[in-house]
Copies of this chain bind each other. A is one copy, B any other.
Amino acid sequence: MNIKLPSWNDTSTRQAILDFVAKVSDPNNTDFVPPEERISTFDNDGTLWCEQPAVQGGFIMQRLTDMANKDASLRKTQPWKMAYEKDTSWINNAVDKHYNGDDSEIKVLLGGLGKSFADMSVETFAAMALDFFKHARHPKYNCSYLEVAYQPMLELLDLLKANDFTTYIVSGGGRDFMRPITRQVYGIPPERVLGSAPTLNFKAGDQGAHIMRGAGLDILDDGPAKAVQIWDRTGRRPILAAGNANGDIPMLQFAGGKDRPALRLLVHHDDAAREASYTSGAEKAVKLAQEQGWTVVSMKNDWKQVFSFQNSKKS
C-alpha cells in the first residue's frame, strides 16, 4: 500500500490531507475520531476514475448494439438506432435538451436503457458487467477500463484504510454495474458501493428464488439523494467526502456535523494534457468550495501522475 501519497506533489493540498488523517487518528488530538466513526465517502465518475467518456457509457453502447444486432426491428428505434449506427450525436442532443428543460428525448433514452437491462436476475447482470470489464478497451487510453482509476486517489484510499477509515463509494453511476469490480479496482467490497439503481423484484419459483431487475429507476443517486443514501445505508455522517461535480455538493455539506471535523475534497479537472480540462457541471461546486474553504484538488498541480499507465514525472 502506498500510504504516503507518492503520486501527489508536495503541495498544501497533499499536506491538508495528511494533516487531517493524522489528527483524527491521534487519540491525543482534540479532533480525534474513534475508528468506527471514521467514515469516508467518494463519488466515482470524475473523482475516482475518469468520466470522459463515461465508463458505463461503453457498457450501455455495447448492450444496445448487441440487442440491435440480434433483433433488426430495434435498429430504427432509439436508443438502439444510435448504437447500431454508432452515431452518438442523438444522445448528446438528448442530454443538451435535458439541461434546457426538455426531457422528451432523455425519457426515450432512459426508457430504452431500462428495458435493455430489465427482466434479468441481478446475478445475470453482474456477470454481464464483469464480462464487459474483462474484454472492453477504453476508447481514449486504449487500456482496460479497470486501469482508468486515478493513481493519486488509489493512494488516498490506501492511506484511509491504513488509518482505519471505512470508505464508501457514492456514485451517480449504476451501483450494480460497479459492484463486481470495486474490490479489484479500489479494494472496496460490494456492500460499500452506493449508486443509482433500478427497481428490483423478488421472484420465487421452481428455478429457485431470484432478485429480478425491473425497467424503472428506483434510485437516482445524485444531489440530495447522495447525502440521504449515505445516512440510509450507513447510519453515519462521513468525516471525509470527495466529489467533483454539482451533484456532490449535498454529500460534501453533510460531512462532519456539529461536533466533528471534516475534510471536503473537490477534484478539479484542469489537466488537458494528461486527462481533461472542464468545469461544466461543476460550476456551483467550485464556487462553494471557494466560499466555504473546501479543499480543491488540482489534477494539474497536485498530482505527479494521473494514471498508473502514464509515466510519473515531477511537475
Contacts and interface: CB of A to CB of B under 8 A. Distances in A.
A212 to B, nearest CB: 10
Interface in A219-263: 224-225, 227-228, 231-236, 250, 253-254, 257-258
A114 interface: no
A178 to B, nearest CB: 10
Given A202-B224, A204-B250, A227-B209, A36 B189 contact: yes
Classify the secondary structure of A's interface with B.
Answer: helix
Nearest to A234: B191
A48 interface: no
Interface in A184-206: 189-191, 193, 197, 200-202, 204
Contacts of A231: 122, 200, 211
Give chain A's interface residue range (CB within 8 Å of chain B). Answer: 35 or more
Nearest to A231: B211
A179 interface: yes
A254 B190 contact: no
B227 A211 contact: yes
A208 B201 CA distance: 37
The 8 closest A-B pairs by CB, nearest first: A190-B235, A202-B224, A209-B253, A191-B234, A179-B235, A211-B231, A209-B254, A202-B227
30 contacts: A122-B231, A166-B191, A175-B235, A176-B235, A179-B235, A190-B234, A190-B235, A191-B233, A191-B234, A191-B235, A191-B236, A193-B235, A197-B232, A200-B228, A200-B232, A201-B228, A202-B224, A202-B225, A202-B227, A202-B228, A202-B250, A202-B254, A204-B250, A204-B253, A208-B257, A209-B254, A211-B227, A211-B228, A211-B231, A233-B233
